[in-house]
Every structure is written in C-alpha cells, then in structure tokens.
Amino acid sequence: MSRAAGTEGFVFNHTMIRVKDPKPSLEFYQACRDLYHRIISSDFLSECLGHDIDTQSVVSFGVAEGMCSPWIKFTAMPADSFTLYFLGYDHGGDSVNESHLASREELTHNHGTESDESFQGYASGNTEPGRGFGHIAISVPDIEAACKRFEELGVPFKKRLTDGKMKNIAFILDPDGYWVEALISGTEVAQVNIPALTGDMGILSKHEAIIEELRPGVVEVKTLDGQSKKWFVSGGFATMHPHNELTVNVVEAAPLEDFSPEAVKANLAEANRVANGTGPEKDKAEARVEVGVLEALQYALKA
C-alpha cells in the first residue's frame, strides 16, 4: 500500500505510560523483556547545562555501551518533578544510529508517587473507571519458551496460553497493572502448507501474492532445519504479501498433537446426533458446522 503524500518519513516512535514507582517497573521490564533503558530527568539535565531547561527544548544524543548504542530523543521539561525512562530493543550496529532501536516505550515517573500513601496508582485502562488504554505488545520467536521464562521469574499472568480460545498469545501484568501481550513474531521457514478452500496448497519463499480462505484442516510449518509443526485450524484466511511474508489469521487453532482422538470421536457422535435430531433449526445448523470441523479434525489425526 502506497503511503499518503507527505508521510514517507513518518515512523512510529514511542508510547508513554505513567508508573507509580520506577524501581519495580524497571526491574520488571528489564527482567521480563530484557530491554535496554536510558534515564532522562529534568533535574539531571539542568545540572548538566547549568540552567533551567526551556519547555520546548528538544535534545538528541547517543550513548554507546558495548553493542548497545541507542539513540534517544526527548523533550525536556522544567524543574525536577519527573523522570522519563525510555526502553527499547537494540537490533545491532556498531555505531549510534536511531534506526537500530525498535519502537520504544516511555515510562514516566512523577516524583513522589512512590511514597505517597494516599496515591492508589494509575488506571490500567482495562477496568472502570478509566477504561480505554488496552495493552503493550511484544513479539517473541518462541511463545512457549517466553511464557516459561515469565513463570520462572514469578511474573503474574492475566492470560496464559492455555486460557480461552486464543492459544497463541499470553498477557502478563507489570507492577502498575498494565497488560503486556506476548505474541509470536515472524520467523523464516522453509515452507507452509495450508488447507485452502480451493485445495491444499504449499507456500514457498517468493510465492506470488495471494489471499486464500481456509477450510477446517491442518496448517503445517516446515522449519529450515527440517522439522515439521502442525496446527489444526477451524477456518480463517492466509495472506501472502508482496514482501515475502505469509500471515495466517484463524478463528481457533491448537497444536494437532494436543487433541485426543477419543474425545474427537465422542464429540463428533454428539454433533451428528443433534444435527440429525428434531431440535431447533438453530441448534441443528450449529451442529452441522461442528460436524464439518470435527470430521476434518478426525481425518487429520488419522493421517
């Protein structure tokens, strides 16, 4: 998709959230997400410059520390009422270069909130009052390994991989109650086989751009080292993008190995009973859909 005129150089920069106490927040984000961070405070800058900072003053500088060379931009504010913490992932580079740092998160600490007994904390955005802001999200190459690490660190979960219907995402909570989503990032693979509505299809590198509706069946991912991973999906869409990226969006998905053939057989018998019964048409229609999905699942387990 072409960009609107005048926006060619626009890049997402950062999102800011307020924190009550920076110490546990920084410990959380560094331990759970291994983020590099740099601290910007108004009083620190005033001392360095020898005078108060204008509210519109914008300062840019780089700090090299080993292989971590983030380039930080910030707007300084007067007095000593707050500190800003910029966090982000450094993706390499031997020199200070802003392009090496991915989209950032800014933690704002208003001095005094950490010791104010009357301050109850900030709204996370997911409860009333104050519902609005949703969550922060990070992409990880191995969602199960990431969640295991969170468990070992004692991080509280809002949603584990096993909760709900969406088995490929998890939510953890930071010290202020903000939701942090962990989801699978893209990774290079050898081939992806999809159950397209038009027939089974193998997607290789540099496949032509397509959009395919998926029927109930197995999505198989063949990794570069020759391994095969299979998920059963109830339906959805697969999109091969022009820049050699495949995205698969489904309603429900789970590793094929997690299903019990006996449970599938029992559920299929019950769905057939309802579909062929004398109950309400709505129940019968839903049962017929279940039959189609369960038959495909049963076939996949026998293959």
Which sequence positions are flagged as catalytic?
Answer: 181
* 78 upstream amide cis, omega within 30 of 0: no
Q: CA 217 to CA 214: how far, in whole Å?
A: 8
Structure tokens at 56: 């519109």
- Coil/strand/helix, residue 152: helix
Q: CA 203 to CA 206: how far, in whole Å?
A: 9
Q: How many CB atoms lie within 10 A of CB 111?
A: 15
Pick left, alpha or beta for residue 118 (phi over 0 → left; psi -120 to 50 → alpha; otherwise beta).
Answer: alpha
Beta bridge partners of 83: 41, 109
Dihedral (CA of 131, 144, 207, 213) sign: negative
Query: How does DSSP classify residue 169?
Result: E
Kindly provide the residue ranges of all beta strands, DSSP E only, lying in 89-190, ordered along the sequence: 104-110, 135-140, 157-159, 169-173, 179-184
Considering only CA atoms, which of 140, 101, 132 is closest in space to residue 17?
132
